[in-house]
Structure 1
């Protein structure tokens, strides 16, 4: 794969695997008919689509009928939320304070439609506890949304514990939806774990095409948006076979259990080296500071750090001028200059303003990370607050 050794914004989007892209294009061109058509060409396209669904299911260890192809992680997060609009009784929704805008902003839109939104807070470590989620659940709570891995800090949330805890509630158990966009193909994650009702996946985070995603749903979801009835009525619209094949192949490449675990373990060593080097730079603070003592609670693919006296945007531009590409956080919120995740963690304003995110890909080498560290040291020397 021809990947820039100086690209460290993989959490925003990963470069496409050119071999997989070429294969997906070949499949899409060969099976160009609408998979819903009943003529032979349509049936052949449908056969390839269902083959892709089954192969995705095999990787994720779920049933094929539990998988719905969507336009990306955002839509996969929206479908469980919007499905609540089908219900006449307006129950409450619990979301964590660290959710991606795809969940947070859609939940706020539902709030304007009369749904009560309850926020489950996180600790200074960026982690939402099962006890906190239980405390926030009300008698009328219909849905709980907790992301698997935070896209800014890399904090891995205790999803299995939360799923177990929700099962102890008396009365009707609320459904649990998981934004797994930064988990699928990156950290070991069990989509079939009892109590996880739905989960979102995005292809372009794992070397796939943009505009394609996957929704795992343990039981059929009644979609609020209607149309031609594709994807068993959950997601209408002519299926994107190019994107679907790309997503399937990327899952096979990244999310297969032994492959994912091996890459995860290898990256932990590189990230430990990177964090240790950052901590030796004057004025640098790892966010959260507790990460150094408990690295097992964080994804090794994402590191958040703050450099005293250097606004995050300045650090991003200065490194970009030197050919290194990072971000201040979620690409979806970068132009809004807001950091709700850091606010939820009670990070002080100056530290938050000077924070940046480094995110990694499995093809990066130790020497690439060493080159990044040298560039960060140079920028810190030029722009950092002198003590």
Structure 2
């Protein structure tokens, strides 16, 4: 039996359309975009076409898109690149950020500057009023994840951005998990900076983008040539950039024609698991979440052991960036879950390739694995 892949929040397969867009620049079209000859002009045109495709997906202008090596680099540029070495203004963020944001904030703190972290409610969503109080104390930058990567909850970024900008602060959102799964428009959000990770939307690993609103200054983390406006120097990765552009174009088509697909499959999965596993809990708000993401708590078992007993389904016990230890997710403990309960977490994330058969197989396999483990776990307790 083909294993069922339910870990699309960790990474996605490269779509055939994306690979087709990349191949010409992995073979004959190998020119440097900075070269003035025919091969160079061909490569330059591919980069600019991809820039427009990325911009089109998020409602930006092409000249507001900067290519990076991934979502982590985009977050670092957005946070560290906008806070000059002598900038002592505070950063306001949340307690449920991805490590690529949190670690940047820790660097800011290590330099003797202030970071205010706002806790999320039990539903996995930060309260706008709490963010307002933190912003009112003074802030140079507000950075809030758009869709929480482990539990899928959507944060009120547009409301927070309005408060931040009225207070004179820049606003960044890590949209790595959101872009390609739901409509994202930088104008509607009101953000100054927005991070994209290509491998979350069927592009290869190692490519991403940062939206930088016109007029916002971002300093480089590296020095070199003048590529990408001098903010991200180095010869452009043309094949991967072309792939990201194709992935964004494909995502736009899918969102137009198949918008309800992921939500319907997720609901089918959640309903089936609740019927098969009494006491199963969903983490986070039921409605204000990504259409593809479920973080569920299996009672009386370790999520890690459950996955080991269920090799027919590939999923995660939390964020794939720190999924190698038998400790509860820091996100879940921040939401108030006790350690024993949080250890039962399994993150199930669907993709555009997921089918109803995949969902039904996962329900059956998880239910069987849980029944085999739960008595043992409960007697040990």
**TM-score, shorter chain, exceeding 0.5:** yes
Give the aligned partner of residue 247 of structure 1.
244
Does the alignment pair 1:342 with 2:332? yes
Contact 2:221–2:232 (CA under 8 A) maintained in structure 1: no
Equivalent residue for 2:230, pick from 210, 228, 233: 233
Equivalent residue for 2:5, pick from 3, 7, 15: 7
**Per the alignment, do residues 338 and 348 of structure 1 end up closer, same or farther by CA in structure 2, a change over 3 Å counting?**
closer
Structure-2 separation of matches of 1:144 and 1:286: 32
> SS of the counterpart of 2:152?
coil
> SS of the counterpart of 2:225?
coil
Does the alignment pair 1:297 with 2:264? no
Q: TM-score, normalization: structure 2?
A: 0.92
Give the aligned partner of residue 83 of structure 1.
81
Shift of 1:338: 4.9
The number of equivalent residue pairs is: 373
Structure-1 separation of matches of 2:179 and 2:164: 23
Structure-2 separation of matches of 1:70 and 1:319: 37
Give the aligned partner of residue 333 of structure 1.
322
Structure-1 separation of matches of 2:217 and 2:45: 22
Matches within 5 A, 1:52-131: 52-131=50-129
Shift of 1:264: 3.3
Contact 1:275–1:286 (CA under 8 A) maintained in structure 2: no
Give the aligned partner of residue 35 of structure 1.
33
Structure-2 separation of matches of 1:195 and 1:61: 11
**Per the alignment, do residues 246 and 329 of structure 1 end up closer, same or farther by CA in structure 2, a change over 3 Å counting?**
same
Does the alignment pair 1:191 with 2:195? no
> SS of the counterpart of 1:303?
strand
Matches within 5 A, 1:310-329: 310-320=301-311, 323-329=312-318
> SS of the counterpart of 1:358?
strand
> SS of the counterpart of 2:194?
strand
Give the aligned partner of residue 143 of structure 1.
141
Structure-1 separation of matches of 2:199 and 2:40: 27
What is the aligned-residue RMSD (CA, Å)? 1.9
Shift of 1:48: 1.8
Contact 2:25–2:43 (CA under 8 A) maintained in structure 1: no
> SS of the counterpart of 1:68?
strand
Contact 2:5–2:314 (CA under 8 A) maintained in structure 1: yes
Shift of 1:20: 2.0
Shift of 1:303: 0.4
Structure-2 separation of matches of 1:167 and 1:68: 22
Structure-1 separation of matches of 2:297 and 2:91: 33
Q: TM-score, normalization: structure 1?
A: 0.91
Unaligned ranges ≥5, structure 1: none
Structure-2 separation of matches of 1:141 and 1:60: 26
Structure-1 separation of matches of 2:256 and 2:266: 15
> Once the two structures are superposed, what CA deviation does each residue of 1:195-218 show, in whole Å capped at 9, x if it has no partner?
300111111111111100011110
Give the aligned partner of residue 269 of structure 2.
274
> Once the two structures are superposed, what CA deviation does each residue of 1:291-339 show, in whole Å capped at 9, x if it has no partner?
3xxx32111211001112211211121222xx21000111111125451
Shift of 1:343: 1.6
Moved more, 87-96 or 197-206: 87-96
Unaligned ranges ≥5, structure 2: none
Does the alignment pair 1:384 with 2:381? no
Contact 2:68–2:232 (CA under 8 A) maintained in structure 1: yes
